Amino acid sequence: MEQDLMRIGVSLPEKLLNKFDEIILQRGYSSRSEGIRDAIRNYIVNYEWMSDVQGERVGVITIVYSHTQRGLEDNLTEIQHEFIGIIQSSLHVHLDHDNCLEVVVLRGEGQDVRKAAENMMALKGVKHVKLTTTSLGKEL
């Protein structure tokens, strides 16, 4: 069924919008709006997948962030201390002058793993967070 379209106004950094436009051009989208609708659908699917992560899991959180963002490294460290009970290991890589990569390996209840990833995603200056989970292999 055709749904009513709502109009929204969004403010974006120019670099982000230029990159997005480049990708939708390459992928052959008919309009920027179509690309944005698709991106929002992907966001929702990913969120629903994350909400569904349950039972004992091994999770890997990959974070790319700007280390020049004031207070961000402290906040990231604070979250990792908060989830100390399920964090197994972490790795820090200085990507370039401004950017850092952190990989955190967790093992615990899926919803706690998800919560740790979501808390990191919500921080200002975090550019990208990816959570992957795997089973412990016991039932395989």
H or E element in which residue 23 lies: helix 14-27
Please report how close the Cβ of residue 110 comes to Ni ion at its closest, in angstroms.
29
Report the chain's C-alpha Rg in angstroms. 18
Footprint on this chain of Ni ion (rule: CB under 5 A) = 94, 100
Please say which residue, 94 or 127, places its beta carbon nearer to Ni ion.
94
Please report how close the Cβ of residue 94 comes to Ni ion at its closest, in angstroms.
4
Contact predicate 112/57, CB 8 Å:
no
Please report how close the Cβ of residue 2 comes to Ni ion at its closest, in angstroms.
49
Please say which residue, 94 or 128, places its beta carbon nearer to Ni ion.
94
H or E element in which residue 126 lies: strand 126-134
For residues 76 and 126, give the distance between their C-alpha atoms in angstroms, rounded to a whole number.
10
Please say which residue, 54 or 68, places its beta carbon nearer to Ni ion.
68
